[in-house]
Amino acid sequence: MKHVRIAPVDLKASKEINEVWIHDRIAEDPSILGLGDVAVRDRERLHPGAGRLDMLLQDTESAARYEVEIQLGATDPSHIIRTLEYWDIERKRYPQYEHIAVIIAEDITSRFLNVIGLFNGSIPIIAIQMRAVQMPEGVGLIFTKVLDATQRGLEDEDEEAYTPADRAYWESRATPTAVKMADQILELARSFASPDIQLTYKKPYIGFQVGGKSVLFALCLPRKNVMTLEIILPQSPEIDERVEKSGITLIDYNARYRKYRIRLTAQEITKHRDLLKEMLQAAYRLRNND
CATH number at residue 135: 3.40.1350.10
pLDDT for the residue numbered 256: 67
Distance between start and end Cα atoms, the chain: 51
pLDDT of residue 4 exceeding 80, the answer is: no
Q: How many domains does the chain have?
A: 2
**Chain segment 70-127, per-residue pLDDT in tens:** 988 888 888 888 899 999 999 888 877 889 999 999 888 777 777 777 766 678 888 8
Are 13 and 143 part of one and the same domain? Answer: yes
140 in a structural domain? yes
Closest residue by Cα to residue 88 from 107, 111, 106, 69: 69
Provide the percentage of residues in the chain whose pLDDT is more than 90.
44
What Cα–Cα distance (Å) separates residue 129 from each residue in 54, 68, 71, 132? 16, 13, 10, 10
Are 202 and 236 part of one and the same domain? Answer: yes
pLDDT for the residue numbered 228: 93
pLDDT for the residue numbered 121: 63
* Domain end marker among 109, 129, 147: 147
pLDDT for the residue numbered 191: 93
- Half-sphere CA count of 157, side-chain side, radius 13 A: 1
pLDDT for the residue numbered 153: 46
1 in a structural domain? no
Residue 151: Cβ within 10 Å count: 11
Q: Strand, helix or coil at 100?
A: strand
* Domain end marker among 147, 180, 196: 147
Task: Please tell me the distance from the alpha carbon of residue 35 to that of residue 102, in angstroms, as a whole number.
Answer: 10
**Chain segment 231-246, per-residue pLDDT in tens:** 999 888 899 999 999 9
224 in a structural domain? yes
Phi, psi values for residue 82, rounded to 5°: -60, -45
pTM (predicted TM-score): 0.58
Are 233 and 131 part of one and the same domain? Answer: no
Task: Please tell me the distance from the alpha carbon of residue 64 to that of residue 30, in angstroms, as a whole number.
Answer: 15
Which residues form the domain of 180? 156-289
pLDDT of residue 135 exceeding 80, the answer is: no
Are 178 and 260 part of one and the same domain? Answer: yes
230 in a structural domain? yes
User: Please, which residues have CB within 8 angstroms of residue 141's CB and are 6 or more apart in sequence?
Assistant: 22, 25, 32, 130, 131, 132
Q: Strand, helix or coil at 122?
A: coil
94 in a structural domain? yes
pLDDT for the residue numbered 157: 41
pLDDT of residue 274 exceeding 50, the answer is: yes
245 in a structural domain? yes
Q: Tell me, rounded to whole angstroms, the distance of Cα 16 from its chain centroid.
A: 33
Task: Please tell me the distance from the alpha carbon of residue 115 to that of residue 118, in angstroms, as a whole number.
Answer: 5
Task: Please tell me the distance from the alpha carbon of residue 193 to that of residue 164, in angstroms, as a whole number.
Answer: 23
Q: Tell me, rounded to whole angstroms, the distance of Cα 198 from its chain centroid.
A: 26
**Chain segment 139-196, per-residue pLDDT in tens:** 888 899 888 775 444 444 445 446 788 999 999 989 999 999 999 999 999 999 988 9
pLDDT for the residue numbered 85: 93
Compute the mean pLDDT over every residue in the chain, rounded to the nearest whole number.
86
Are 130 and 168 part of one and the same domain? Answer: no
Region 41-64: mean pLDDT is 86
| DSSP H/E element including 84 | helix 77-93
61 in a structural domain? yes
Asked if 113 and 146 touch (Cβ cutoff 8 Å), the reply is yes
Q: How confident is the model at residue 209 (pLDDT cuts 50, 70, 90)?
A: very high
Residue 273's CATH number: 3.90.1150.200
2 in a structural domain? no
Are 109 and 164 part of one and the same domain? Answer: no
